[in-house]
Amino acid sequence: MPKNVTIKDIAAEAGVSIALVSFVMNNRIGEDGKQKYRVNQTTRDRILEVARRLNYQPNAAARILRSGKSRVIGAVLSDISNVFYGEIAKQLEEKAFRKGYTMLFGSTDECAEKLDRVVRSFIDKGVEGFIVVPCEGSEGTLRHIRNLNIPLVIMDRKDVDVAVPKVVLDNRAAIKKAVEILAGKGLRKIEMLSYTMRVSSISDREAGFRDRMLELGVCPDDIRIHRIPFEEVSDATEQMVPGLIARGVEGLVFATNSLAIAAIKKLFSMGIRMQQDIHLVGFDNSDVYDMFEPQIPHIRQPIERICGEALARLCNLMENEEKTADQLITLDAEVVNMQ
Amino acid sequence: MPKNVTIKDIAAEAGVSIALVSFVMNNRIGEDGKQKYRVNQTTRDRILEVARRLNYQPNAAARILRSGKSRVIGAVLSDISNVFYGEIAKQLEEKAFRKGYTMLFGSTDECAEKLDRVVRSFIDKGVEGFIVVPCEGSEGTLRHIRNLNIPLVIMDRKDVDVAVPKVVLDNRAAIKKAVEILAGKGLRKIEMLSYTMRVSSISDREAGFRDRMLELGVCPDDIRIHRIPFEEVSDATEQMVPGLIARGVEGLVFATNSLAIAAIKKLFSMGIRMQQDIHLVGFDNSDVYDMFEPQIPHIRQPIERICGEALARLCNLMENEEKTADQLITLDAEVVNMQ
DNA sequence: CTGTTAGCGCTTTCAA
DNA sequence: TTGAAAGCGCTAACAG
């Protein structure tokens, strides 16, 4: 391994001091035409030339050590292989890149222990801030982040007693819109598929469903929410669907795309005609929704805005060393393919 | 921001030297019961106690600077929001974590410039190694990585003239299996949907198709591969499908899941019955494949093994400072839901 | 078993 | 306009 080029090498080669090299390297990005350090144009050019010739790469570690800023953000999501979080990841990465930050991603798979492991390893890596989608039992870890004074923004879920900014969807309103689509068609025998998991996004969606159903005059005892364990969506959903049909359910709303997909598969295999024999409203994206004619309407989260807000708040905390503003940013969902 | 605790603080608090603290901290992970530095058990306990009490977090930057190892790997994929790469990302992250590495992810969106930007930013971050899915025109950047002497493993595509390990699917064989499924049903009017993009994974899949069709006795002029631009899969595919049907195509194989999904949507909307009026074989995963009865068979890449191999090679290069072993690791695809 | 010490590469103050 | 020098926090010889 040919020893990496350092500013010292450049200084030697160009016959100047390392300080000068450092100055020049940091001015590279002519920020707003204002140069903090004035260096002789000739010297500057010579240094830049040498740097290029020697293929100089600044050492990140040294820079971080000295400046104390790593410009790395850790994002701890639920499951990066799920489309929704995949899109979140992509947006975060892009937006962070533009701001000059690098993102580190990790999946919790809804397991508090894994979340803790990931968070600790990220801290080890010297992340400057965190964006976290909490899961059941993760409060301790989140508090740990706070205690370490590492900026933190919570995303997607808000039922965590930690005083940090939280960016979430207005889940109640979102599901109300979903129910509305079905109610608007005159349907009343509407049921919901949800997770057993108790996190605010899910609970709020359930609450929204309950609220709207009550408003529609449905008797509380007739409001049906079916809860399925996260780990066995496919099987459990498949087993449950026939029962729904047997009971003559007319409409179904879903708390997540995975639930919707599992149900649609089963319904389709049973020969049930979507949006005819039964009416559905999905949540989040899936290629499956668009398969049918008419397409299955679904609730779309404003992923770009969610990521934008989360990152903005985080940068605020990181850059302005602001006191932990415990704000709740709530964004509205939109309905796709409303019929 | 309360000054972070350093080994110095611990040393002072525990009344020992910083060296001792360092030794203890590095032995934390009792590797194979063998401790490199022997420290008095009482002292050790005291130090650990103080460290815990003061909530000590080792400074990553300093450690990296000193040891020269960041234990960070950069993965540059095509599009992390696509299921296939999403799963790749997840596997890489998990496996890397077990080996004590952290992954950095970036998407190229099949744009060489973006790939270059991402790579440079990762280098800036001090990654120790790269796993890259190249795209058209990315050779220069890959060579740049080599010149910097940063370990590199290429994944998914092999048509890059850079002497590094490459882990790919046996794409020719994979598509042959796909064609075989259709041929086994006695079909001969089989066509393929592919990308215009010239990367080995795609080209090889096309070659496999051509080969198998020739073997089946199809006249070269009758072998039809339809190439669709990556950026407009949906629209272009939708426009193309009716023509295929009009020509009485019996079977379709796809070079990627996105192509398959787009085609299936259109076919379905036209009322064509899958695996009856037309027979399909998909590539990679999609929830859409499982929607139909019988399910749409598809080619499944051994994602876990791909990631395992790629990471293993990379670690080899990073840890053993081995000379660039220019090996090509080819893995076999498997057919899911063969009927 | 424990302490001293010399840097890793870079930023930045202070002085020239 | 330039240079000298002091560390950032940690590791790892080397010396006791």
User: A121 vs B183, which has greater pLDDT?
Assistant: B183
What CA–CA distance (Å, rounded) separates B271 from B323? 57
CA B284, B287, B288, B289 dihedral sign is positive
Mean pLDDT of the A254-263 span: 97
User: Vertex A143, ends A141 and A148: CA angle to 5°?
Assistant: 100
Which B residues, 185 through 224, put their C-beta within 8 Å of a C-beta on chain A?
none
Nucleotide nearest to B67 (CA to C1'): D11
Tokens 């490459």 label which residue?
Answer: B166
Amino acid identity for residue B79 in this structure: D
Q: Write phi, then psi, for B224 (nearest 5 degrees).
A: -115, 120
Would you say residue B67 has pLDDT above 90? no
* Domains of chain A in sequence order: 1-56 (1.10.260.40), 171-300 (3.40.50.2300)
Would you say residue A28 has pLDDT above 90? no
User: Vertex A51, ends A48 and A53: CA angle to 5°?
Assistant: 110
What CA–CA distance (Å, rounded) separates B104 from B4? 25
Q: A100: nearest CA in chain B?
A: B121
Does residue A6 lie within 7 Å of nucleic acid chain C, judged by its CB? yes
Report chain B's mean pLDDT, rounded to a whole number: 91
Q: What is residue A149's predicted lDDT score, i.e. its pLDDT?
A: 83
**CA–C1' distance A311–C12 (Å)?**
30
Strand ranges across the sheet with B279-283: B224-228, B190-195, B251-254, B279-283, B298-300, B334-336
User: Measured over all CA atoms, what is the biggest interatomic distance in chain B, rounded to whole angstroms?
Assistant: 86
CA distance A207 to chain B (A): 28
Check: CB of residue B200 under 8 Å from CB of residue B170: no
User: B37 vs A64, which has greater pLDDT?
Assistant: A64
Mean pLDDT of the A122-135 span: 91
**CA–C1' distance A19–C12 (Å)?**
9
Does residue A27 lie within 7 Å of nucleic acid chain C, judged by its CB? no
Q: Are strands B251-254 and B190-195 parallel, antiparallel or unpaired?
A: parallel
Would the CB atoms of B79 and A97 count as touching at under 8 Å? Answer: no
A81 to chain B, any CB pair closer than 8 A? The answer is yes
CA distance B63 to chain A (A): 8
Share of chain B above pLDDT 90, in %: 67
Would the CB atoms of B102 and A93 count as touching at under 8 Å? Answer: no
What CA–CA distance (Å, rounded) separates B174 from B205? 7
Would you say residue A2 has pLDDT above 70? no
CB within 7 A of strand D (chain A, 60-99): 62, 65-66
Report the residue of A26, A56, A105 to disrupt the B interface, i.e. the one with the largest count of B CBs within 10 Å.
A105
CA distances to A69, B96, B111, B195 from B232, rounded to whole Å, are 41, 34, 15, 10
Would you say residue A291 has pLDDT above 60? yes
Amino acid identity for residue B73 in this structure: I
Residue A26: pLDDT band with limits 50, 70, 90: confident
A32 to chain B, any CB pair closer than 8 A? The answer is no
A241-250 pLDDT, tens per residue? 999 999 999 9
CB within 7 A of strand C (chain B, 263-282): none
Mean pLDDT of the A49-77 span: 88
A148 to chain B, any CB pair closer than 8 A? The answer is yes
Would the CB atoms of B148 and A57 count as touching at under 8 Å? Answer: yes
Structure tokens at A85: 């979080």
B120-146 pLDDT, tens per residue? 888 878 889 999 999 999 999 999 998
Report the residue of A80, A85, A303 to disrupt the B interface, i.e. the one with the largest count of B CBs within 10 Å.
A80
B262 Cβ partners below 8 Å, 6+ apart? B233, B234, B237, B238
Would you say residue B36 has pLDDT above 70? no
Check: CB of residue A250 under 8 Å from CB of residue A265: no
Would the CB atoms of B83 and A81 count as touching at under 8 Å? Answer: yes
Would the CB atoms of B90 and A106 count as touching at under 8 Å? Answer: no
User: Vertex A31, ends A30 and A35: CA angle to 5°?
Assistant: 70
Strand ranges across the sheet with A190-195: A224-228, A190-195, A251-254, A279-283, A298-300, A334-336
Q: What is residue A322's predicted lDDT score, i.e. its pLDDT?
A: 63
CA distance B293 to chain A (A): 6
B213-260 pLDDT, tens per residue? 999 999 999 999 999 999 999 999 999 999 999 999 999 999 999 999
Check: CB of residue A336 under 8 Å from CB of residue A298: yes
Q: What is residue A3's predicted lDDT score, i.e. its pLDDT?
A: 62
Check: CB of residue A150 under 8 Å from CB of residue A128: yes
Q: What is residue A251's predicted lDDT score, i.e. its pLDDT?
A: 97
Report the residue of B116, B290, B292 to disrupt the A interface, i.e. the one with the largest count of A CBs within 10 Å.
B290
**CA–C1' distance B16–C3 (Å)?**
8
Check: CB of residue B81 under 8 Å from CB of residue A77: no
What CA–CA distance (Å, rounded) separates A302 from A169? 8
Does residue B7 lie within 7 Å of nucleic acid chain C, judged by its CB? no
Mean pLDDT of the B152-179 span: 97
Closest by Cα among A146, A151, A116, A109 to A130: A151
Check: CB of residue A253 under 8 Å from CB of residue A192: yes
Q: Are strands A152-155 and A190-195 parallel, antiparallel or unpaired?
A: unpaired
Contacts of A106 in chain B (CB under 8 A): 93
What CA–CA distance (Å, rounded) separates B28 from B44? 10
Q: What is residue B171's predicted lDDT score, i.e. its pLDDT?
A: 98
Closest by Cα among A122, A59, A108, A318 to B72: A122
Which A residues, 240 through 269, put their C-beta within 8 Å of a C-beta on chain B?
261, 264-265, 268-269
Which A residues, 43 through 62, put their C-beta within 8 Å of a C-beta on chain B?
55, 57-62
Mean pLDDT of the B94-102 span: 90
What CA–CA distance (Å, rounded) separates B261 from A57? 43
Q: Is B329 helix (H, G, I), strand (E, B) or coil?
A: strand
CA A218, A220, A221, A223 dihedral sign is positive
Amino acid identity for residue B282 in this structure: G
Does residue A40 lie within 7 Å of nucleic acid chain D, judged by its CB? yes
CA distances to A75, A327, B187 from A154, rounded to whole Å, are 10, 10, 54
Would you say residue B280 has pLDDT above 50? yes
Would you say residue A33 has pLDDT above 80? no
Q: A290: nearest CA in chain B?
A: B265
CA distances to A72, A306, B115 from A95, rounded to whole Å, are 13, 11, 16
Mean pLDDT of the A25-35 span: 55
Structure tokens at B204: 């090889």
Report chain A's mean pLDDT, rounded to a whole number: 91
Tokens 């309950």 label which residue?
Answer: A210
| DSSP letters for A68-135 | S---EEEEEES-TTSHHHHHHHHHHHHHHHHTT-EEEEEE-TT-HHHHHHHHHHHHHTT-SEEEE---
Residue A142: pLDDT band with limits 50, 70, 90: very high
Would you say residue B274 has pLDDT above 50? yes
B26 to chain A, any CB pair closer than 8 A? The answer is no
Which A residues, 282 through 301, put their C-beta within 8 Å of a C-beta on chain B?
286-288, 290-293
Q: Is B30 helix (H, G, I), strand (E, B) or coil?
A: coil
